Amino acid sequence: MNVSTLSRAAEFDLEEIWLYLRRHASEAIADGQVKQIQRRAEMLASSPLMGQAREELSVGLRCFPSGKYTIYYRPMATGIEVIRVLHGSRNIERSLFW
């Protein structure tokens, strides 16, 4: 069974995404975006090497887009660990993954 787990930072990211979208769009849009990210993470858990390697940011880190967001994760024996979920327009730096 392949599973995805969330780091604390990823949990916070999803909460912030939901709050932002609820405030600026609607609760339905916020719910839909978070569900889309969760479904994408489940897909990645089954095929963890699908994403692009981002070793320059952190050892073993990979990323994969989900709408306007990017899922940053590490493959594990049983699936993936989602490290961060960040907006695609954000300036990505190593310090985000410590």
DSSP string, 27-64: HHHHHHHHHHHHHHHHHHHHSGGGSEE-TTTSTT-EEE
Among 21, 48, 51, 50, which residue's Cα sits nearest to residue 34?
21
pLDDT tens per residue, range 61-96: 999 999 999 999 999 999 999 999 999 999 999 999
pLDDT tens per residue, range 21-61: 999 999 999 999 999 999 999 999 999 999 999 999 999 99
Number of domains in the chain: 1
- Which residues on neighbouring strands pair with residue 52, listed in sequence order? 63
Sheet containing strand 52-53, edge to edge, reads 3-6, 79-87, 69-76, 62-66, 52-53
Among 49, 91, 56, which residue's Cα sits nearest to residue 70?
91
The whole domain housing 75 covers 3-97
Tell me, what CATH number does 71's domain have? 3.30.2310.20
